């Protein structure tokens, strides 16, 4: 069981209120979406810290994390009409993760994101 208490007026509180009170999502699905987003980013780091996963397993987890993060970034770009960033993220969409390709994509994403600010 996981629970997290936060001030409802804080940024984290506002996000979880949105997820749990969204009329388009059942309450548990909203909570799950919040946990899935946390899981997508932190999973490979947590397993690496435990020291019980092989390098191959960690790389697979990292690839799965990048896929989930790329999906979230594309969703955000589409929702907020940030096409330049969405175009940069498209290089991640085919999920080619050889080291040179993915580092180039991440640099492109970071560069475009900074230009959008």
Comparison of pLDDT for 26 and 38, the residue scoring more? 38
Average pLDDT for residues 48-69, to the nearest whole number?
93
Burial class (CB in 10 A: 0-12, 13-18, 19+), 4: exposed
Query: pLDDT value at position 114?
Result: 47
Average pLDDT for residues 86-98, to the nearest whole number?
50
Query: pLDDT value at position 49?
Result: 97
- Examine the pLDDT at 65 and tell me if it is beyond 80: yes
Helix H segments across 1-117?
A: 11-21, 27-50, 55-79, 83-89, 99-116
pTM value > 0.75: no
Match 């690496």 to its residue by tokens.
48
- Examine the pLDDT at 72 and tell me if it is beyond 70: yes
């Amino acid at each position: 069981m996981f629970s997290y208490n936060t001030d409802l007026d804080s940024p984290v509180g506002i996000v979880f209120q949105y997820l749990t009170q969204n009329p388009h999502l059942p309450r548990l699905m909203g909570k799950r979406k919040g946990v899935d987003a946390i899981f997508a980013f932190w999973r490979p780091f947590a397993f690496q810290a435990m020291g019980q996963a092989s390098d191959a397993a960690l790389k697979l987890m990292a690839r799965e994390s990048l896929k989930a993060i790329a999906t979230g970034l594309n969703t955000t770009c589409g929702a907020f009409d940030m096409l330049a960033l969405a175009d940069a993220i498209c290089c991640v969409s085919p999920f080619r993760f050889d080291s040179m390709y993915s580092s180039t994509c991440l640099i492109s994403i970071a560069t475009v994101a900074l230009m959008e600010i």
